[in-house]
Amino acid sequence: MRFKPFSRKQRLALEWWALPETSSYDAVICDGAVRSGKTLCMSLGFVLWAAASFDGTSFAVCGKTITSLRRNVITPLLQTLRSLGFSCEEKTSRNYADISLDGVGCNRFYFFGGKDEGSAALIQGMTLGGVLLDEVALMPRSFVEQAIARCSLPGSRLWFNCNPEHPGHWFYREWICRRQEKNALYLHFTMKDNPSLTENIRRRYERLYSGAFYERFVLGKWTQTGGLVYPMFKKSLHVGEPPSACSEYRISCDYGTVNPSSFGLWGRCGEVWYRLREYYYDARREGLSRTDEEHYRELCALAGDLPVKTVIIDPSAASMIACIERHGRFRVIRADNRVLVGIQRTGEALSAGKIRISPACTDILREFTLYCWDEGACSDAPKKEHDHAMDDMRYFVMAELAQNGADCFFAASTRRVSAVKRKEG
């Protein structure tokens, strides 16, 4: 791997333990923007510090899950260490690696996924010289506290990094706000601290996020969600007459019996999905609830004679799912109902111009102007109102467009390359 000269923040994250002005800290916390170069320097610094300070000692390297840890941290780290002359013997099946330099002094690094089931039990009982927690704000507090409690050896230190979350998050309150009491060095990163990001890429990230997610992922601030959930939605950009024919179709459903049911018909035109028509039935407003069969008839009417094969539906709508499956016309996809990830992906899809709404879809257009965050909540949560078309759209995005912004970009580029190749062929 070719490195650009490290930025000042990156050098600090690498070497703080060896510098006279920072070596007395017991911990380091790097937070801030996405892709700002935190993990690379921290993981390298962690192994260098361990090699300089200990021999025959165990350490823990923890990520959100073992899979994400291997992909984002371990694989690039071991590659880099080998190129620097370290010997790294990885025991993949047992989740550890023995790392030594010049054949003298060897430490063992155990790998953990903080969110993986049983991970707190696995780390329990170990004695560690240090722990690196990558993406610490995404791990359960119980796991993080267990990992910290394992660091009982003299000279042990704690290494944390994360992207910001809600300011009520326990890690922010316990560690970032109380960093002096904890004797922790705090390094705040922005994208400018990563010398490998070009101006163009930085601008692309800036375009991808808005609202609280912009503040968090681009500016790196611990910001409360507030106001509209989709502030990037603009009539001038996102509302438009759909084309007369689309290449493929889907229907997404948020099903309610007392609450409204909202179904959206989506059609794909190139890289853009249009919401063509919708069905929105509010039993309270109408004073009359509808049976599953009646909703099913409306679903069929929404599809009309278009070749709609797939219906994406709220996984908790068991009776409606059974009803759709009984009729056998549509294939059912049970939606991924993770609210915050879904909101983030939907926001990215809107910002990237991948979703447009026909002016005929008046209920979703109304909800865009009313769907807002619950500012009284102590963690990120949208208010549970004006959220029915919002939910069916989110299910649709999670099923069809649920890669993160960067992945969407690369997927689009790959499709373009294949199209060019087909033409050439």
Rounded Cα distance, 258 and 204, in Å = 42
Structure tokens at 304: 């009309």
Least separation in angstroms between residue 163's CB and ligand ATP is 5
Q: Which of 345, 393, 343, 344 has the alpha carbon at shortest distance from 365? A: 393
Cβ nearer to Mg ion, comparing 163 with 225: 163
Identify the helix (H) or strand (E) that includes residue 248. Answer: strand 248-254
C-alpha angle with apex 108: 105 to 112, nearest 5 degrees?
Answer: 160
User: Based on CB atoms, which residue is closest to ligand ATP, 36 or 262?
Assistant: 36
- Which partner, Mg ion, ligand ATP, none, binds residue 37 by CB below 5 to 8 Å per kind? ligand ATP
Q: By CB under 6 A, which span of 30-38, 254-262, 273-281, 338-346 interacts with ligand ATP?
A: 30-38
| Closest CB 117 distance from ligand ATP, rounded Å | 23
Name the residue nearer to ligand ATP (CB basis): 34 or 229.
34
Question: Element (H or E) spanning 107, and its range?
Answer: strand 104-113
Asked if 163 is part of the footprint of ligand ATP (rule: CB under 6 A), the reply reads yes
Q: How far is CA 21 from the centre of its chain?
A: 35
Which class for 28: exposed (0-12), middle (13-18), buried (19 or more C-beta within 10 A)? buried
- Cα separation values, 118 from 68, 122, 138, 252, Å: 17, 6, 16, 35
Q: How far apart are CA 403 and CA 349, in angstroms?
A: 9
- Choose one: 37-45, 286-294, 322-330, 386-394; the region binding Mg ion (CB under 5 A): 37-45
Residues 44-83 that bind ligand ATP (CB under 6 A): none
Stretch that binds Mg ion, among 39-47, 150-158, 165-173, 180-188 (CB under 5 A): 39-47
Closest approach of ligand ATP to the CB of residue 191, in Å: 9
CA distance 4 to 26: 29
State the first-to-last Cα distance of the chain, in angstroms, to the nearest integer: 34
Among 10, 39, 65, 95, binds Mg ion (CB under 5 A): 39
Instruction: In whole angstroms, give the CA distance from residue 386 to residue 389.
Output: 8
Asked whether 51 and 105 are in contact (CB, 8 A), the reply is yes
DSSP helix/strand/coil, 223:
coil
Amino acid making up residue 260 = P
Q: How far is the CB of 1 from ligand ATP (least distance, A)?
A: 7
**Per CB under 6 A, which region of 2-10, 52-60, 203-211, 390-398 contacts ligand ATP?**
2-10
**Looking at 27, 29, 34, 402, which residue binds ligand ATP (CB under 6 A)?**
34
Quote the tokens at residue 124.
Answer: 């329990």
- Restricted to residues 181-220, the positions that interact with ligand ATP (CB under 6 A) are 189, 194-196
Q: Can you tell me the distance from the alpha carbon of 166 to that of 162, in angstroms, rounded to the nearest whole number? A: 12
Q: How far is the CB of 14 from ligand ATP (least distance, A)?
A: 10
Whole-number minimum distance, CB 68 to Mg ion, in Å? 10
The residue among 5 and 376 lying less far from ligand ATP, judged by its C-beta, is: 5
Closer to ligand ATP by Cβ: residue 39 or 252: 39
**38 is an interface residue for ligand ATP by CB under 6 A:** yes
Q: Which has the closest alpha carbon to 135: 234, 64, 76? A: 64
The DSSP symbol for 288 reads -
- Considering the complex, what minimum distance in angstroms separates the CB of residue 29 from ligand ATP? 13
Q: Partners of 9 in the beta sheet?
A: none
Nearer to ligand ATP, 16 or 189 (CB): 189
Task: Please report the sign of the dihedral spanned by the C-alpha atoms of residue 12, residue 15, residue 19, residue 24.
Answer: positive
- Rounded distance, CA 112 to CA 62, Å? 5
Binder among 9, 35, 64, 394 for ligand ATP (CB under 6 A): 35
User: Residues 196-235 vs Mg ion: string with x where CB under 5 A?
Assistant: ----------------------------------------
Under the binding rule (CB under 6 A), the answer on residue 39 touching ligand ATP is yes
CB of 189 to ligand ATP, least distance (A): 6
Using CB under 6 A, count the residues that bind ligand ATP: 15
Among ligand ATP, Mg ion, none, the one that 34 touches (CB under a kind-dependent 5 to 8 A) is ligand ATP
**Structural contact between residues 276 and 242, judged by C-beta atoms closer than 8 angstroms:** yes
Q: Which residue's structure tokens are 């249009």? A: 274
Which parts of this chain interact with ligand ATP (CB under 6 A)? 3-4, 6, 34-40, 163, 189, 194-196
Which parts of this chain interact with Mg ion (CB under 5 A)? 39
